[in-house]
């Protein structure tokens, strides 16, 4: 068995093993050690990125509105032009944040945890099934098959 296949099988076992346990059995949650960072899930990370970009755009827009409400002078028109450019950049940043993908999550965010196996283990235990599927497809470097819509029988 190739090394990549072994890694994929190991990852599947780590991720899916908790899901296979009996749901009725309750256990005491284990709190991570203080020195271990718990990575955000993709949905949390993306929401944080979008929120941060949105808030930045709002702050720039507010500064522009305040600057525009004062009398226009020579240096102030330069300030307005600068703020307009900053607002445009902030809006582009927001658009990019809204389009972040799971690949971006791995490439931008999760790489910081590559030398922290305990952090990755904690993340793997919390991954929702959709993210597990996307992760496996990414590891296998194959597109994710889209489920076929259920065919509805024609009724007379």
Model-level pTM? 0.63
Task: Please give the Cα distance from 72 to 77 (Å, whole number).
Answer: 6
Residues in the chain: 156
Structural Rg of the chain based on CA atoms? 23
The domains of the chain are located at 3-21+39-140
Q: In the structure encoding, which two tokens stand for residue 36, read together? A: 């271990």
Structure tokens at 125: 């235990």
Segment 113-143, tens digit of pLDDT: 999 999 999 999 999 998 888 888 878 876 6
The tens digit of pLDDT for each residue in 99-112 reads 999 889 989 999 99
Residues near 120 by Cβ (< 8 Å), separated by ≥ 6? 39, 110, 113
Q: Compute the distance between CA of residue 9 and CA of residue 15 in angstroms, rounded to an integer.
A: 10
Output DSSP code: residue 123: H
pLDDT digits (tens, 9 = 90+) for 56-96: 999 999 999 988 877 556 667 778 889 999 999 999 999 99
Mapped onto helix, strand or coil, the DSSP state of residue 28 is coil
Report phi then psi at 121, rounded to 5.
-65, -45
């Amino acid at each position: 068995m190739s090394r990549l296949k072994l890694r994929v099988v190991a990852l599947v076992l780590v991720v899916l093993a908790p899901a296979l346990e009996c749901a009725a059995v309750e256990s005491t949650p284990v709190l991570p050690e203080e020195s271990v960072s718990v990575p955000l899930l993709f949905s949390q990370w993306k929401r944080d990125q979008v929120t941060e970009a949105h808030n930045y755009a709002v702050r720039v827009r507010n500064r522009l509105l305040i600057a525009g409400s004062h009398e226009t002078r020579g240096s102030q028109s330069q300030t307005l032009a600068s703020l307009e450019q900053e607002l445009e950049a902030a809006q582009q940043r927001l658009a990019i944040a809204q389009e972040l993908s799971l690949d971006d999550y791995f490439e931008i965010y999760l790489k910081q945890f590559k030398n922290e196996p305990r952090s990755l283990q904690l993340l793997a235990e919390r991954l929702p099934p959709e993210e597990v599927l996307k992760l496996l497809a990414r590891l296998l470097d194959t597109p994710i098959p889209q489920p076929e819509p259920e065919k509805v029988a024609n009724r007379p």
